[in-house]
Structure formats: structure tokens, C-alpha cells
Amino acid sequence: MLNKNSASSQSLPRVHSFFNMIPSILQDDLAVTILADRDNMFSIKSHRSHGEDLIVTPFAQILASLRSVRNNLLSLTNVPASNKSRRPTQSSSAARSTNPAGVPLSQGEEAYTRLATDTIEELDWCLDQLETIQTHRSVSDMASLKFKRMLNKELSHFSESSRSGNQISEYICSTFLDKQQEFDLPSLRVDENPEHAAATAAGGAVGAGGQSTGQQYGNRSRSPRGPPMSQISGVKRPLSHTNSFTGERLPTFGVETPKENELGTLLGELDTWGIQIFSIGEFSVNRPLTCVAYTIFQSRELLTSLMIPPKTFLNFMTTLEDHYVKDNPFHNSLHAADVTQSTNVLLNTPALEGVFTPLEVGGALFAACIHDVDHPGLTNQFLVNSSSELALMYNDESVLENHHLAVAFKLLQNQGCDIFCNMQKKQRQTLRKMVIDIVLSTDMSKHMSLLADLKTMVETKKVAGSGVLLLDNYTDRIQVLENLVHCADLSNPTKPLPLYKRWVALLMEEFFLQGDKERESGMDISPMCDRHNATIEKSQVGFIDYIVHPLWETWADLVHPDAQDILDTLEENRDYYQSMIPPSPPPSGVDENPQEDRIRFQVTLEESDQENLAELEEGDEDVDAASSTTTGTTATSALGGAGGGGGGGGGGGGMAPRTGGSQNQQHHGGM
């Protein structure tokens, strides 16, 4: 259990993340200053030795402001706080008062008048926010919408810096932003020149999960008729696997291999980040998922606690692995094994010790195992745009993720493969719900919603002055598990550089194969899928800056300081790819500036003020993120943790061990 208040603030030397779009200059005469322009960003500066505590999610901003109002009222009215009153901690209310010393003030004093005015402004701002909150929108939706606008604003500027910047911006927007119709995407312009449009691409590509383009193709091509929709495509008939264990002795690591000793040595490092997963694939005779999952379930004693017969487990795992498409360069069983092993390591983080039950741990690992089964090596949007049977079956919504779940649960019905056969009905229903929630969250278009949920949770607990995340309900618990597996799915950039480079090459080859198919079919080529017009190095830097680092930085804030080494590796890998970006001339009309290639969006506050004013005049009820209070100050953006924009943030979020019934069947709908 880790107490946030006792942890010191640590940060990476990076300055190009996504959550730091705030002024860096605060009033020096106050130990704590609440910025007036909360519509754009809310920052609280505690005592200098503790650095800045950034609050960026709307709900946490409102809570923080209301706590400041309460503290100010105590100072203005000189009413002593009763024992039954909320007792603010230094990290929350006490740290937010504009009268931090708590000195009683007398009416008529200048300080009294100033504090009263500030308090009214605080209260007015809170009321404005509460009055414009749509009742049908959850607080996490508010944060998600805000983050999407922040990212869109950055990408709008970045896309104008170069032709490759436009392609990368389209890739990120089309892959990681859902419901794009809610937002203006001014940077994603379709070129009027057909030849140029084909070169710059207007489709979509995926990260590790398979969502893609925002532009619909003019003519949706028809795909060949598939199997009847009453059947689950991709499930082999008859259901069988190539390894059948008929004897009494099961293989030590779940697979028959002449390299058992070498395999055993590598599997002994399953609790280590950055294991040699490619060697495991080689030594396991191309059955990495089976041996990794079997070894993890055995070492965690999950086969015993979940009453899973070992032989049944191996029957299912080999059948499952047979249903991963071996011809896919990236989305194959090796990727599934890598995500499963990464999930295992993240579950071992000290901050999570004793938090999750064996059923929850088993559910998360099972979800990681199945999360890409029968992946066709194509993106969700490709399937939608080509009117595929899968897209029709799942109504264009998380097509691949729904398919992975359907195939996996169908395989459990194969004779001798039902690994959950000994569970009670309620346990089985709970596990199925968890697995569905987790796998659906691997749809990369849900990335911003996931990040907003996690960020809102962490900041709300922090503002409330709680040093421990209790996770005492299903919604909070599944939210952490969803983000954990999502982190594992986006963990390639955090691995040692040789592994990362190899994964990049495989993913790009899969992208290029889709691009080849699109070219042959006369379709627009999706961003990053044209092998003749790819900007691999720059795309990786943008991918890290805008997607991977924000996610991992928020996770690091949750489990601080356990993920610091991972963040350090991520930063080193980012710097490597930054150094590999070939120099290119600036686009016409853009002054050459060596800082342009750092994929770091910088906006002067005067520009931001004008943008915010225009948005307010349009009656926009949502909050954009841009700094605006210090004239001439440059705000650098970063979608980072709530601890100053660096790696791990200012104090991690410890979590209390599970103490009672959290396996209720309520729906996961945010906070």
C-alpha cells in the first residue's frame, strides 16, 4: 500500500508531453496559488519543495475549487471547523486556500476583501461549470472530451508543420479518437488533388488494437460473401488442436520442445519487464502463448485457486493459439504472449499487492491471452469500409474486439477445453463480464476514454485528500484492470530498444500489407500503410508523445514510483527515434526552425487567448486546454501525470487491499 503524500515528486527531463499546457509562472507571495483561468487549465502550486500538482480533469477541478471556497470561508467568517467537518489534508484543501497560514482576517482589511473576492470568483466558476454539465454525460466523459480537444488542438498545429506531420496526425486521430463527429478536426483536410490525396492517405491504421481512419471511402467495396451470420467466422471446424496430451505427464512448460532447458531459462524471467519473447517463440516451437500462459497460471497458483484442470488448460491454450493467424507479421500469438507476460508483470507491481482477487487476476490474464485471437491483420475501419461480414455482424462497433471475444468463448465449448467448468455460476458470470470489459477496452479508439477514466479517478482521490485508492466497487476495479491490459497492449515502446525496433518493423509490415490490399482494391491508402510514403521514425516519436507517454505517465502516477524505470526506457527510446528522423525541408510558407521536428506543440498565450475567446463566443460548453494567464509565456503541452508533467508524477497512488464484496454485477459506466 503506497501513500501518495509520502512520495516525493519525480519527473522525466522531457518537456513535450500533453498535460502541462499551463502557465509556469505563479505568484511568489503565496504558498498556494489557484489560477484564475480554470476554463483552460487548473494548477495548484503547493510549497516550493513539493513542486506543482496539476489538476486537469474537470470533475477534480470542481472539487478542488469547492474545497478552496470552504477554506476561504473559514478564514473570512472565523468559524472554527467542528470535529464532524471535513478535515482537509495538506495535499488537498489546506494546500489550496488563498490564506494558507489560516490567520483570522478582520472585515475591512485589504487581505479580507481580496480573499472574499477570490472566493466569490471561485464559487461563480464552480456554478458555471455545474450549470453547463449535461446530465446524461458522466464525469469521465467530460474529461475524455476535454482530452480529445487538447489532442486535436496539438495535432492541428503539428499537421501544418510538414506533409509527414499531416499523415501522422491523421493516423493518431483516426486510430485513437472515437466519435470524431463531435469535434472539429481542422487539420485533417482532404486534398483536392486526387494524386496527392492518394499519397498523403486518408484512411486509418492501428496501434496494437486495430482501429483506424476517420474518412469514409467514397464507394464501399463489397467483400465476398462469408459464412452464415449465425456462425462465428474464424472458428475452425472441427474444433481441434495439434497438440493432444494423452499421457499422464504433461510437458513442464506446456509444450513439447527439444529446447526445454533453454526455454525454461527464459521462462524463469517471466516476472521481468522486457523478457526475450522472440527467443521464447523460437524455443517453444512457435507456441509462445501456450507456454507463457501455462507457466504464469502455474506460478500464480491460479490453476488451483480457480479449479482449472492442467490438461484442460493446455487443451484450451493450444486450441486458442491455433486460432491466432500465424501469417500476420504482428497480430499473432507472439504478440498475445508478449501482452500476457507484460500484464503479469504489471499485476506484480507493489502498489497492487493484495488488491485483486485470484478471479480478477485470472480474468485479466485470460483477457490478455485472447485479446487478438483470429485477428485478420486488418484494421477495424478497413473491415467497416469494405462491408465485411464481421462489420455487419457487430454493427461497425469494436468489430475485431467483439470477434476476438466471440471466438474465444466459443472455443471454451470445445470438448475438453472448458477451463472454467468447475466454477460456480456467479463466479463464471463475473469472470465473463470482466473479460468482455477488458477486451473491448483494447479497441484503440477507446484510448482517450480509458485515459480520461483513469486520470479522473487518480485526480479525484488526490483532490479529496485521500492517499489511498480503495477500489471498493466493480467500476473502479475494472477500470484499473482495463488500463493495465491497455498499457500492456501499448508496451512495445517501453521495452528495451532492440525489442522495440523489432516490434516496430513487424507492425509496419502489417500496415504495409493492408496498404497493398487497399491499393489493389482501388481504395484510399490508410495513413502509415503506404510502404512508398511512410515516415516510420517520426511516426514513432509522435506515437510516444501523444499516446504512449500520456498513458504510461498516468499509470505511473497511480502506482508511483513502481513504473519509473519503464518511463525512463520509454524516454530513451523516444530520443533514439527522434535522433533517427532524417532532416527534411520545411513546407512552403513555413520558416525553417530546428525545433519544429521535436513534435512539440508550443503556443503563445496571446494565440491561446484568442482561440479561447472565439470558442466562448460560439457558446462552446466544453473546456479546451490551453494556457492563457501569463502574457508572453510559452505553454508546452503534455498529456502527463498529475505530478508536474514528468515521469511518475508527484507521489503515487497506493491502493488498499481488497476487503469485501466487489464482484457485484453493476455495469461499467465510468465514475
> Which residues participate in catalysis according to the annotation?
331
Q: Is 91 annotated as a binding residue?
A: no
What does the block give as the cell for 327? 501469417
Burial group, residue 285, by CB count within 10 angstroms (0-12, 13-18, 19+): middle
Q: Is 335 annotated as a binding residue?
A: yes
Q: Is 332 annotated as a binding residue?
A: yes
Q: How many helices (H) and strands (E) does the chain have?
A: 23, 6
Q: How do 9-10 and 42-45 pair as beta strands?
A: unpaired
* β-bridge mates for residue 636, sequence order: 602
What does the block give as the cell for 296? 504464469
Beta strands, E only, 300-445: none
CB neighbour burial string for 330-366, b if at least 16 within 10 angstroms, e if fewer: bbbbbbbbbbbbbbbbbbebebbeebbeebbbbbbbb
651 sits in which H/E element: none
* β-bridge mates for residue 42, sequence order: 55
Q: Is 333 annotated as a binding residue?
A: yes
CB neighbour burial string for 399-425, b if at least 16 within 10 angstroms, e if fewer: bbbbbbbbbbeebbebebbbbbeebee
Among 139, 151, 185, smallest CA distance to 19 is for: 151
What does the block give as the cell for 26? 505563479
Among 410, 317, 431, 443, smallest CA distance to 363 is for: 431
Distance CA 122, CA 127 (A): 9
Residue 135 · residue 168 · CB < 8 Å: no
Quick one: DSSP state of residue 545?
A: I
Distance CA 381, CA 526 (A): 9
Rg (CA), the chain: 26
Burial group, residue 469, by CB count within 10 angstroms (0-12, 13-18, 19+): buried
Q: How do 634-636 and 602-604 pair as beta strands?
A: antiparallel
Distance CA 510, CA 264 (A): 31
Q: Is 404 annotated as a binding residue?
A: no
Distance CA 629, CA 621 (A): 20
Among 566, 551, 664, smallest CA distance to 147 is for: 551
Distance CA 306, CA 302 (A): 6
Q: Is 540 annotated as a binding residue?
A: yes
SS (H, E, C) 634-647: EEECCCCCCCCCCC
Q: Is 331 annotated as a binding residue?
A: yes
CA-based max dimension of the chain: 90
54 sits in which H/E element: strand 52-55
Cβ neighbours around 260 below 10 Å, total? 16
Q: Is 371 annotated as a binding residue?
A: yes
Q: Is 49 annotated as a binding residue?
A: no
Binding-site sequence positions for Zn(2+): 335, 371-372, 489
Binding-site sequence positions: 331-335, 371-372, 489, 540
Binding-site sequence positions for AMP: 331-335, 372, 489, 540
